[in-house]
Chain A
Amino acid sequence: MVQTPKNVSEMKPGDIGIISGFTDEYLSVKLMEMGCLPGIPVRFNFRAPFGDPICISVSGYELSLRLEEAATISIVN
């Protein structure tokens, strides 16, 4: 059985989820300023060749972030 991803770092290329919250307060402000808002859909696009960082689409922007940063974005799907 495949576990459903609970945060963005657990997603696979092509997955889409809805942002439900953040686990790191300091990063959350930065993430929201960049367009990652609770309730907004996020799409996992692709990983860098060594698996980290990753590229996501959110609010019409393409962002790159490290896995440890992606892990602070909680999602529901």
Chain B
Amino acid sequence: MTIPRRQKVALVGNPNSGKSSLFNQLTGLKQKIGNFPGVTVEKRSGVTSLPDGSSLEIIDLPGIYSIYPRSLDEQIVAEILLDHHAPTTPNKIVVIADATNLKRGLLLLSQIIDIGLPTILALNMMDLVARAGISYDIKALSKKLGIPVVPINARIGIGLEELKKVIAGPVSSPADSIFKIWDEVKAPVKELRETLGVDNDYEAYQFLEQPKSLKFLSAKEQQVVDDVRNRYHFFPGKFQGAETIQRYGFIQDLLNEVTLKQTDFSWKNYSRKIDRVLTHRIWGYALFFGLLFLIFQAIFAWATVPMDMIDLLFADLSRYLHSVLPDGPLTSLLADGIVPGIGGIIIFVPQIAILFAFISVLEESGYMARVVFLMDKLMRRFGLNGKSVVPLMSGVACAIPAIMATRTIDNWKERTITIFVTPLMSCSARLPVFTILIALIVPEQKAFGFFNLQGIALMGLYLLGFLAALGSAWIMKQIIRVRERSFLIMELPTYRVPRWSNVGYTIVEKTKAFVLEAGKVIMAISIVLWVLASYGPGDKIPNARENVLAESKSLRLTEQGLEDRIAAYKLENSYAGVIGKALEPVIKPLGYDWKIGIALITSFAAREVFVGTMATIYSIGSAGGKDDATIKSRMKEEINPETGGPRFTPAVGFSLLVFYLFAMQCMSTIAVVYRETGGWKWPLLQLLYMTALAYVSAWIVYQVLS
């Protein structure tokens, strides 16, 4: 006996047509987020229950204006809709259209109908239609199109029961296609239908028009299509303009027949008045930078409260596990490897949630399009997009949510460059490293009476990070060559009050995606780092206590002092210590010794670990982390055996500052870049580039200053 497959229904529509609202209304929290196979386009699917008790799978396809793709997102939709015989082929399609202005929605709908899958039209925003004084003869519209038409209001969920009823029932596709294919292509279309068994003329015509969207065909079948295309001298794109004009002709006639009352655009003027302020040369930028500052404050300051709580909770859990479980490698793996690893993932949740709350409000309200409008000219010079501003600024708080925010950038090249340079913005994890090093090497004096020198040094680092990001972006713009043309033909949608449940869904979705997908990589690296720091070659680590006791018999150490020494001894003789020592010749030109080398390795978990590692290695672990002054004075006392002077000279200090500013010392960033770019190519290139940049810059700084 076979269990009948759950029916699949795909949602298709223009951006800003209310597709996300409809999807959220239909599926609620029963949503799954993943990627389409092989590409980084996000796939959202969910389950909805029908009045008869059965259920449907709803797939939310990326918003498109036409079946002809111009970006990766649009390509996916074309591929799914053209492949009629796969297990993933949707059984039915719901096209959602903005009823306040139907032209563009109907253009897409007419293409979808012609492709031949059973289609339903959901007319959205019927409340605004009524307010604008338009009314449609929906029965006539349905009859003319040959498909069911359901008026809905996706924002508040009106008409959904009716829509579900229609989806559940039988939906047939009209026999005649709306678009009449050209006489010139009738012969190749006929040939394709005969040789490949393509369902209808328009689908076969699409095979000719879209050579790049046919990955579902076998190599042999693709060869057949290419062969037919060549023999009939068919160039993809040749007839696209003419097709669009023919379709609009049909749409105009249709609208003339079914529109009972014409629209007035008074509510559109409302939007234009707001734009006069929000895109003003002074107020526009002032408001935007004010908003950026607010976002920055929120992720920088407000997020620390829940983050500290998470930190404390996991530290307590670690300690608790140590106290109740017997000592041993398994307990250590659990309490020192896995629990802090999970903690290291969860700690980002507050920042991700806050940033995406802001971003989804900006998107929902229609303001994001104005941000692009304001910033496009400035950012374009650096190979970036107007939308890159938000990730770059958020990067000052944390690169993780910032890189996730680049999904809003449609252009592949601009998005990749933004991802690549965002980690160069100085994030909040660098701050503890910066403060302790600056306190160590920059005197606490005032320049010109009121500028605090330490403050200037800190600001200089942030500025340097920003300039490095822009410079790197400019270089990448010259290097990456793509055939994808960058253009900005974009709708400025009408301003709307955000729908708060959509904001909530976005937060849940982004957090889930990070915890589940980037979390896996972070977990794996955490465990590797734990092994490196807790195990070492030979038997020095198991015998650490005896060895330290033997060495320091005459020193009369306190209990605390002894524990600190043992911890330092263990770290020195661990694999991390061995690698740190092996690294010494490489980092010597930068002015570092093996102790700093160990800190560079452990910092890979997260930059702020530098401070803790310094504390452990200088045998002041018990005071470490909580008391910067102790670490600072201990570091000040450290002597460079070769010079007899202090280890942390200004040259070493500045060299370290620059190294920490540029180096990619954050496994979570690597994990999130891996997820967002769908492979290891970009995270590894980025690791390589940033390490090289950090090394060379630190070398120059050290050589110039010493």
- Interface positions of A (Cβ within 8 A of B): 22, 25-35, 37-38, 45-46, 48-53, 55, 59-66, 69
Contact partner, B104, options A26, A35, A38, A65, Cβ 8 Å = A35
Residues of B contacting A46 with CB < 8 Å? 275-276, 279
A26-B485, A29-B241, A65-B487 known; 18 new pairs, CB 8 Å cut-off, are A29-B66, A31-B489, A32-B248, A33-B107, A34-B491, A48-B374, A48-B377, A49-B279, A53-B488, A55-B279, A55-B492, A60-B265, A61-B101, A62-B492, A62-B494, A64-B373, A64-B488, A66-B487
Residues of A contacting B490 with CB < 8 Å? 63-65
Is B271 touching A62 in the complex (CB atoms < 8 A)? yes
Is A29 touching B376 in the complex (CB atoms < 8 A)? no
Is B279 touching A48 in the complex (CB atoms < 8 A)? yes
Is B104 touching A33 in the complex (CB atoms < 8 A)? yes
Is A60 touching B268 in the complex (CB atoms < 8 A)? yes
Residues of A contacting B284 with CB < 8 Å? 49
CA of A46 to CA of B279, assembled, Å: 9
Which chain B residues in 673-687 approach chain A with CB under 8 Å? none
Looking at B66, B272, B488, B493, which has the most chain A CB atoms within 10 Å of its CB? Answer: B488
| Chain B, interface residues (CB within 8 Å), range | 35 or more
**What are 12 A-B pairs at a CB distance below 8 A?**
A25-B241, A30-B70, A32-B241, A33-B66, A37-B248, A38-B245, A49-B280, A49-B284, A52-B376, A53-B488, A60-B265, A60-B268
Is A66 touching B488 in the complex (CB atoms < 8 A)? yes
CA of A55 to CA of B271, assembled, Å: 13
Is A60 touching B103 in the complex (CB atoms < 8 A)? yes
Residues of A contacting B280 with CB < 8 Å? 49
CA of A59 to CA of B376, assembled, Å: 24
1/0 per residue, CB under 8 A from A, across B367-385: the answer is 0010011101110000000
CA of A37 to CA of B101, assembled, Å: 15
1/0 per residue, CB under 8 A from A, across B466-495: the answer is 000000000000000000010111111110
B285 in the interface (beta carbon within 8 A): yes
Q: Chain A: which residue is nearest B386 at the CB level?
A: A53
1/0 per residue, CB under 8 A from A, across B67-81: the answer is 010100000000000
CA of A50 to CA of B221, assembled, Å: 51
Known: A29-B241, A32-B245, A32-B248. A63 touches B489 (CB 8 A): yes
Looking at B68, B263, B489, which has the most chain A CB atoms within 10 Å of its CB? Answer: B489
Is A49 touching B489 in the complex (CB atoms < 8 A)? no
Known: A26-B485, A49-B279. A63 touches B374 (CB 8 A): no
CA of A46 to CA of B216, assembled, Å: 45
Q: Chain B: which residue is nearest A63 at the CB level?
A: B491
Shortest Cβ distance from B250 into chain A, in angstroms? 13
Is B65 touching A33 in the complex (CB atoms < 8 A)? yes
Shortest Cβ distance from A63 into chain B, in angstroms? 6
Q: Chain A: which residue is nearest B68 at the CB level?
A: A29
Which chain B residues in 245-262 approach chain A with CB under 8 Å? 245, 248
B55 in the interface (beta carbon within 8 A): no
Shortest Cβ distance from B292 into chain A, in angstroms? 16
CA of A77 to CA of B488, assembled, Å: 25
CA of A48 to CA of B65, assembled, Å: 24
CA of A65 to CA of B492, assembled, Å: 10
B237 in the interface (beta carbon within 8 A): yes
Residues of A contacting B488 with CB < 8 Å? 53, 64-66, 69
Residues of A contacting B285 with CB < 8 Å? 49
Which chain B residues in 477-526 approach chain A with CB under 8 Å? 485, 487-494
Is A32 touching B244 in the complex (CB atoms < 8 A)? yes
Shortest Cβ distance from A76 into chain B, in angstroms? 18
Is B263 touching A60 in the complex (CB atoms < 8 A)? yes
Is B244 touching A29 in the complex (CB atoms < 8 A)? yes
Residues of B contacting A32 with CB < 8 Å? 241, 244-245, 248
B220 in the interface (beta carbon within 8 A): no
Shortest Cβ distance from A16 into chain B, in angstroms? 14
Residues of A contacting B107 with CB < 8 Å? 33
Is A64 touching B263 in the complex (CB atoms < 8 A)? no
CA of A22 to CA of B245, assembled, Å: 13
Looking at A33, A45, A60, which has the most chain B CB atoms within 10 Å of its CB? Answer: A33
Contact partner, A69, options B241, B272, B489, Cβ 8 Å = B489
B233 in the interface (beta carbon within 8 A): no
Shortest Cβ distance from A74 into chain B, in angstroms? 14
CA of A25 to CA of B459, assembled, Å: 49
Residues of B contacting A63 with CB < 8 Å? 489-492
Shortest Cβ distance from B286 into chain A, in angstroms? 11
Is A34 touching B489 in the complex (CB atoms < 8 A)? yes
Is A59 touching B101 in the complex (CB atoms < 8 A)? yes
Contact partner, A50, options B263, B378, B489, B493, Cβ 8 Å = B378
Is A27 touching B101 in the complex (CB atoms < 8 A)? no
Residues of B contacting A61 with CB < 8 Å? 101, 104, 491
